[in-house]
Structure 1
Amino acid sequence: MKRFSQLAVPYVVWMALMLILPMILIALYSVTEPGNSIISFTLTIEHYAKFFTDPDFLIILWRSLLIAFKTTVICLLLGYPVAYFIARSSEKVQNILVLCITLPTWINMLVRTYAWIGLLSEGGIFQRILSFIGLGNTELLYTEGAVLLGMVYNFIPFMILQIHTSLCKMDHSLLEASADLGANPAQTFRRVTLPLSLPGVINGITLVFLPAVSSFFIPKLLGGGQYFLIGNLIENQFITVGEWNFGSAISMIMAVIMMLLMMLVRKVEIRNQGGKEE
């Protein structure tokens, strides 16, 4: 056992260098500010106070949480029926459909988002369809709808695959027992299928909401810089403004929010399973 545990050493070192050390540096930047020729840096919480006392930053945070919530709800409403249909199909058809869901994810997300610019821009296929039905002047690109569409398109596979996994693990004899006891398909779904698929739903919500709330290049490309989210604010502070300390403070705030959301999701999952947290 000791010999096998040594195999984990490279992964621990990699995690320390790529995850823990950067987080420590970001945390350090967030509570310091450049000093003078005598003191290299000084401790401060001014960056956190600046964020929470400026209504513009709070509006950006609220807008980011809201669009992440909308993205998650749409992915759930669209993804659950798709996952249910795939799980009810034959094994051969399931493999084909799962491949169709995962195939777009093999392409870089940035490239896929760029493709939507061509589809939504003037002269694109969607504008031609709108022109055909008499709505040619409708603006599609650089709107909240375009940003929401890009997020749903990029993140919905995570929701579908998680729910599909839970549905496939479900004991199908329970469905037969429910039918034998006189339950109709709607009652069986509400009392058997839905509760047993909740772990996949919760995992899907986590995998969609967390990257959606911090996404920056989807709003930048499809929103045209007019739809500013928290991810864009962090990018702007680091790359454009050069305020690394303030950008680090915003990053730490988002990290805390995400950890709190993950803890909440974990508690909901434990309560749903009727167990106790270890």
Structure 2
Amino acid sequence: MNHIKLVVAGALALLGVLVIGGYLADPAPQATDQESAAAGGTLRIGVDGTKPAYYKVDGVTKGFDYEMALGVAEGMGATPEFKVMDFNELFTALEAGEIDMIGAQVTETAERKQDFAFTAPYFVTYLSFLTPEDSTIKDRDDINGRNIAVVEGTIHERYLAEQYENVNVIKAKDEDGAVKAIQTGKADAFFYDAPYTTPIIDRAPIPLKSAIVYAADDAPISFVMKKGDPRKKQIDGILEQMILDGDWLKLKKVYFKEYPLSEVFKDKGA
């Protein structure tokens, strides 16, 4: 699943609260969906039903993005309504007005920002190099000069070229193809999004491990909304407060305990 294109992003938006008010002439116009959500109506959140963003265990819904979205809805006084769909369908649904917000570990990119609005970040992209258990790859310096598998069509190839020297990129059709490249000796490691490596390791025909996991501080993850949605400012403020209050850090420890804390959130007091 391609969730990343690493771009330099700005700092968290200034704390703001959306104020809806003014005098209404009789007869009062019908409230829009946006006004309804801000005033205690329904906030429709599109998710892709993938662990660790949104998933169920014994009928109980869990997930980092799920719980962050719950916090946002609570801060707005709105009722959250989650709609599960394939990741590639989320942006179309947002454009069509079927959902109000995407919460699926979406990384802010220059291309996406042309068409959509991104809230203040509530996470950053974590990257991983999957290797055989007996690999000599231990840290990022060991990547240079290696054969690294990526899923063809994702942006991992570009990032490798930008961040690492003398890397030979091995293109694979999908995740299993990348693992096969390691199995056959064509690749030394598989470069992928860290939160989504567990199922790959579980089904791999050879023993694999996440040899390297690190935060890409220049790749923020945010909720995605329509451009011009006035609720964005309110949501930015709620997210900022969740970080300052420590609510964000509690969730990070539940779902990403093993990940190092990003400098982005250290700067915000987390």
TM-score normalised by length of structure 1: 0.27
- Going by fraction, where is helix more abundant, 1 or 2? 1
- Going by fraction, where is strand more abundant, 1 or 2? 2
Larger radius of gyration: 1
Which structure is richer in relative contact order (CA contacts within 8 A, separation 6 or more)?
A: 2
